Amino acid sequence: MTVTCDMMVSEDGYAAGVNQSLEHPLGEGGERLARWRFERPDENAAEIAAIATAGAYIMGRNMFGPGRGEWDDEWTGWWGNDPPYHAPVFVLTHYPRAPLIMEGGTTFTFLTGGIESALEQARAAAGERDVAIAGGAATARQFLSAGLIDELRLHIATAVLGAGEPMLEGLDDLNLEQISAVQRELVTHVTYRVVR
């Protein structure tokens, strides 16, 4: 079983723009990071499909929604009634919440025990399949810093944000070995092995 992480980033290394909010989930200008997914889905079909093959996912609270503090139980995620995961999703949070069962086989389970506990539960849920760290950037950095990611897949969009949420900030000792790079019109997909 491999622990993977797919992250969209700008050419200057930001995983989201400034001022993330309900109106701007990827921050101001951050929607440019995802153009390749929506404007060129056919030419990026293999990379899009690979993101959705894990047996379980882990994400931070900020990836699940814009709220902070106690939960708004009306909020069920950005994705509507049928999220794209179709597998168990473990959401890291400081505030307990009952599991949220969605259509298509996605269940959001909210965990307060930290990243190691979340990974243990995700591995058990995934069986023989991979576990994916779904983001956001702060969550990915925590897992990278702890040496818990095996494969990092950066989708580098043809966009410069200038400011925002940096993907690799503070990971000065991170050692990456490039496995592959595929260049397309709106994005370059780079896969790295995390060397320990």
For residue range 152-181, list pLDDT tens digits in order.
999 999 999 999 999 999 999 999 999 999
pLDDT at residue number 16: 96
DSSP label of 131:
E
pLDDT at residue number 13: 97
| 114 found inside a domain | yes
| 49 found inside a domain | yes
CATH number at residue 188: 3.40.430.10
| 97 found inside a domain | yes
Please say if the pLDDT value at position 196 is more than 90: no
| 41 found inside a domain | yes
Tens digits of residue pLDDT in 53-86: 999 999 999 999 988 899 999 999 999 999 999 9
| 74 found inside a domain | no
How many domains would you assign to the chain?
1
Q: Show the domain range for 174.
A: 3-65+81-194
